[in-house]
Structure 1
Amino acid sequence: MFPPRETSSSPLRTPNGRHSMSNLPDFPLSLALYNVLPVALTGLALWFLTRYVAQQDPADRGLALLGAGLILAGGLAKVSWKLIVATTGTDLVWLAAALFPLMAPGFALLAVALWGAVRGQRGRPVSAGLWRVALAVVALAFAAAALRYWVLAIPRGWFLPLLVLASLGNLAASLLLIRAAVSLRRWGTALLFAVNLLMIFALQPIAMMNPKTLAMHWTEQTLTALGTACFALAAYRLWRLTSRERSAARPGPA
């Protein structure tokens, strides 16, 4: 899963009134297109995870679908912004800022749905009201964001609560998936989920570096693509394994 983070590649206005990526004289279209790969891989992983949730905890399939849709929408918004900047020099600030308002609730909803699915996989009872817990957590984070931004007038005060929600949701989802793989004794799948999680932590120092060279941007995106590739493969393996186990456990015709 691509890590929820904000990089230093924010647009700056140039003397001719157009925009270019900070720290880069010319943000290349090739790099903007390369950004599509992690989002596509994440979308593939989310597809398998929603099917996994539907198998193990059908009641929370809608929760997983909504969460996955929000995560993917956030990634597509950021990729679209980068492509527009690279091709036209136009900075659509609202499009860049949409990342965390979309991804934060998405990760929270997905994590709660996965919690129910992992319990279902282990044969444990699942609460029918998980969606209430998810919505309460999301509402609390957005209330904190609104309070900091509109009441306390903190510049970009909305950002921190949503960053915390996205990070915790991503971490919880990753740990739950590792646990699901370990409980099935699929160590390779657990390792793939763990590699993605480690890549998320490894990318944080790079994301905070300023200024960044073009080579650093390529390195950052390559590591992100590697992590999401591991995540997509692990999600597929988990879904395939649990599908086979459910099929094998189904009684045959008399």
Structure 2
Amino acid sequence: MDYPIALALEDFVPVIFGTAGFALLSQTAPTPAARRAGFTGAMLIGAGGIAKCVWKLGYAAGAGDWKLFEQALFPLMAAGATLLAWALAVTVRRGRRTRAWPFALVLGLCAAGSILAESLNPLFVAATLGVTAISVLGAIIAARYQQWWAVSLYVLGLVLVMGLVPLRGSDSHHTVAFQWLEQGINTSAQAALLVAAWLTLRAVRRPVLVGATQ
């Protein structure tokens, strides 16, 4: 199909929303090391998304098929999701020691599987599980602070993203109209994540802010 430039440009929107949401979530971590790791993870996820967007924009503009940018998505997303998931696990455990090696092991096994199979599918699995874990952990943190709107938005975001799976298997998947529908759903999902992350971080920081004013 002919990929419109407008569609390629719109694809940057959910990436920006999602990256901002992940960055906000990273700041809920109780230790500087976890916050740094989480923020680095958020930036890696964002870099993967931006790379894919640049590929789409170049393709839509007729500038070429930059496969390296397209293929960067899942490796960067998997690595970033692993870092952020560990940071949020530290948050859920209230700063207690949380070993990083199980997270690194899963990522390493998926990376090795991708190399051996000469396919990005194992890293796709790692990236998918990672970003799903991030929303689940975010919801747990939000529930701890009774932020039920945030919990609902995390769930909504997951439902919307999962709803994309059957759409991508449709015979109409490659039509422009279907691409707009999919990107609209993805944008809504990432917007829900961004608002949920903001509500969560605000709740986590509120006791600190209240204590500072007393």
TM-score by length of 1: 0.79
Q: Does the Cα contact within 8 Å between 1:60 and 1:131 map onto a contact in 2?
A: no
Mapped pair 1:216 → 2:178: yes
Q: Does the Cα contact within 8 Å between 2:27 and 2:39 map onto a contact in 1?
A: no
Mapped pair 1:71 → 2:41: no
- What is the root-mean-square deviation in Å for CA atoms of aligned residues? 1.7
Q: Which residue of the partner structure matches residue 137 of structure 2?
A: 176
Q: Which has the larger radius of gyration?
A: 1
The structural deviation recorded for 1:250 is: 4.9
Q: Say which structure is richer in helix.
A: 2
The structural deviation recorded for 1:246 is: 2.0
Q: Which residue of the partner structure matches residue 126 of structure 1?
A: 96
Distance in 2, Cα, partners of 1:64 & 1:117:
11
Distance in 2, Cα, partners of 1:185 & 1:61:
22
Distance in 1, Cα, partners of 2:213 & 2:182:
49
Q: Which residue of the partner structure matches residue 9 of structure 1?
A: none
Q: Does the Cα contact within 8 Å between 1:63 and 1:131 map onto a contact in 2?
A: no
Q: Where do residues 44-63 of structure 1 align in structure 2 (5 Å cutoff)?
A: 44-53=20-29, 56-63=30-37
- Where does structure 1 lack aligned partners over 5 or more consecutive residues? 1-23, 150-157
Give the 4+ runs in structure 1 shifted more than 4 A.
none
Q: Does the Cα contact within 8 Å between 2:44 and 2:80 map onto a contact in 1?
A: yes
Q: Which residue of the partner structure matches residue 231 of structure 1?
A: 193
Q: Does the Cα contact within 8 Å between 2:23 and 2:43 map onto a contact in 1?
A: no
Q: Which residue of the partner structure matches residue 110 of structure 1?
A: 84
Specify the SS of the correspondent of 2:141: helix
Q: Which residue of the partner structure matches residue 144 of structure 1?
A: 113
- Give identity over the alignment, percent: 32
Q: Which residue of the partner structure matches residue 166 of structure 2?
A: 205
- Where does structure 2 lack aligned partners over 5 or more consecutive residues? none
Inter-CA distance 70–210: structure 2 relative to 1 (3 Å threshold): farther
Distance in 2, Cα, partners of 1:172 & 1:45:
14
TM-score by length of 2: 0.92
Q: Which residue of the partner structure matches residue 87 of structure 1?
A: 61
Indicate the larger mover: 162-171 or 218-227. Answer: 162-171
Q: Does the Cα contact within 8 Å between 2:11 and 2:53 map onto a contact in 1?
A: yes
Match of 1:191 among 140, 152, 155: 152
Tell me the number of residue pairs that the alignment of Structure 1 and Structure 2 aligns.
213
Q: Does the Cα contact within 8 Å between 1:181 and 1:238 map onto a contact in 2?
A: yes
